Structures are given as C-alpha cells and as structure tokens.
Amino acid sequence: MNYTLREMMTIMAAREISDGDIVFCGTGISLVAAMAAKYITAPNSIIFFETGAIDSQLEEIPMSVADPRVMYSAASNGGLLEAFATMQNRITGDRVIGILGAAQIDKYGNLNSTAIGDYFRPVTRFSGSGGACDVASFVPRCLIFMQHEKRKFPKKVDYLTSPGYLDGPGAREKAGLMPGGPTAVITNLGLMRFDQETKEMYLAHYYPGTTPQKILDNMEFEVDISRATEARPPTLNELNILREKVDPQKLIL
C-alpha cells in the first residue's frame, strides 16, 4: 500500500490520542492528526485552540488558529485568557494532550522555536513561543512533531523556548513546573518516547523501510534503540479517512 511519510506521521500521532482527550492543537499536521483521531481512536475527543475556540466544527481545515474556520459552530468562542486557563487549571488541564512542533529538541524533550545562534543576532529567527511554552508548562501529555535531522536533534538547544524534562528526573518539579512533560516525538523516521526513570528519549518505533541505525545517524545525541520495534503502517481505513474525510483539498498532506 502506498502512503507518504507525512501520512505515516499523522497516523502515528492520531493513535496517541485517547477517547475523551481534550486536544490542544496548532495548525498543519498536528491539526490533521487531531481531526483524524476523531474518526479512528477517539470519537469523543475535543479539539481546542489557544485563541479560545472550543470543539469547533471543522468543515474546512483552518490555516491558522485564528482562522474564522475555528469559530464556526464552536461550543464557545472566548479569548486567549480562557484558552490558557483551561490548561493551567488542573480540573480541565489534566485532560489535555498538547501537540507541538519545534526547530530543535534535546534528549529531555526541551524545545526551541525561537532562534538558531545568538538570541540577539540569530542566524535564523523563528516565530517564538506563541502558546507553546504555556502548553508545555501546563499539560500532562505532549506530542511533538519533528523532522529527523542532526541539527534539529542537538545536544543542547540554542534557546529553551518550551520545557520538556529540563535537565532530568525531578527537574520540572524543582523548577516549579507541574508534573507532565513530552510523551512522544514523532518524526519522518520513527517515534520516540521518554524513559520513566531517566526521562531521556529512547527509540520506540522505526518506520518500515528505515533502521534504528539510520535514525541514530540523524541525531547529534545518542538514544537507546534496544526497545525499538517496527511501526505498524497506516491501514487502508486510516488512509481513506485522511484523504477523503480530513484533508480532501490536500491543504496539508
């Protein structure tokens, strides 16, 4: 069966979402994954956006979290304060799973989406945190989309925008953060998780057609590959959902 790597990444993420989860998403592939999950594993999951729209009826794919498409038939259209309070507040916050992306990630899942090089005169400036740091600070579970390239998996991020496990076990709590942290890193080559004890990233699954060694070759730091198994490719049903129901206009995939 033919499928693209972006389709594979989307399905890997969708499978991480459980029924009843409140899913914080941005746009692009993270939104497609959240929309797909509603058809696959999590019909009762709820998509919400940092702009304040909750449970939007997404007849078309929004290109921004402020797109009028997120406002249509939502349960409520609030604002930024309400959206972030939903995650900071433990009553609802503990039900939230976040989906983020970044320019760099280190072995503890700390993210950089601000700048490469010097902060004041960067080689490349990116958009900055937006709500990413808030989400990573507040929610108990987070999925992170990355492209697997050496420079994107450095030993140390150039700027720590969003907290993962900081510098290891207990560091979040010591710094003042809520428990939680990243759950999975989904790339174009595989899926990584974080060890319960060491909080370090390890390879959990590699995609059909690649190898654990090839994944290591695309990272600056080493990860444990002893637990890695081959990932299950998308099923025909999953692909049909992506292509016919979620993104028929092919805006993202």
Partner 1 sequence: MSADQGKVMALDEAIRSYVKDGCHISIGGFTLSRNPMAAVYEIIRQKIRGLHCYAHSNGTGVDELVGGGCIAKLEIAYGGNAKSAPTCIRFKTAIQRGEIQFEDYTNYQMALRFHAGAMGVPFITTRSSFGTDIVNKWGFSKEMREKDPKIPDNKLVVLDNPFGNWGNASKVILIPAINPDVTIIHVQKADKFGTCRMMGLAYADVDQAKAARNVIVTCEELVGSEELRAEPEFNQIPFIHVSAVVPIPFGAYPTACYRYYDYDPQYLSQHSAFAKVDKLYREYLDKFIFGVKDHQGLLNLVGKVQLEKIKADPRTGYATGLDRK
Residues with catalytic function: 50
Give, for 81, the enclosing helix (H) or strand (E). helix 80-88
Virtual torsion, Cα 103, 139, 16, 226, nearest 10 deg: 70
- What gap in Å lies between CA 128 and CA 91, rounded to an integer? 28
Both tokens of 141, joined, read: 């579970």
Tokens 């697997």: give the residue. Answer: 148
Task: CB nearer to partner 1: give 223 or 252.
Answer: 252
Tell me the CB-side half-sphere exposure of residue 24, using CA atoms within 13 A.
33
Least distance between partner 1 and beta carbon 5 (Å): 19
In the complex, least distance from residue 83 CB atom to partner 1, rounded to whole angstroms: 8
Give the pairing type, strands 111-112 and 104-105: antiparallel
CB of 39 to partner 1, least distance (A): 21
**Which of 42, 142 has the CB closer to partner 1?**
142
What is the nearest approach in angstroms of partner 1 to the Cβ of residue 12? 22
Within its chain, how far is the Cα of 15 from the centroid? 12
Cα–Cα dist 83/56, whole Å: 13
Q: For residues 43 and 79, which CB has a smaller minimum distance to partner 1 in the complex?
A: 79
For residues 65 and 192, which CB has a smaller minimum distance to partner 1 in the complex? Answer: 65
Closest-CA residue to 125 (of 142, 106, 112): 112
Cα–Cα distance for residue pair 253/248, rounded to 1 Å: 9
CA 193 – CA 185 distance, rounded (Å): 6
Q: Cβ-count burial of 222 within 10 angstroms (0-12 exposed, 13-18 middle, 19+ buried)?
A: exposed
Shortest separation between residue 185's beta carbon and partner 1, angstroms: 18
* 61/215 with CB nearer partner 1: 61
Q: Give me the residues that bind partner 1 (CB under 8 A), please.
A: 27, 50-53, 59-60, 63-72, 77-81, 84, 88, 90, 114-115, 119-134, 137-138, 159-163, 166, 171-173, 175-178, 249, 251
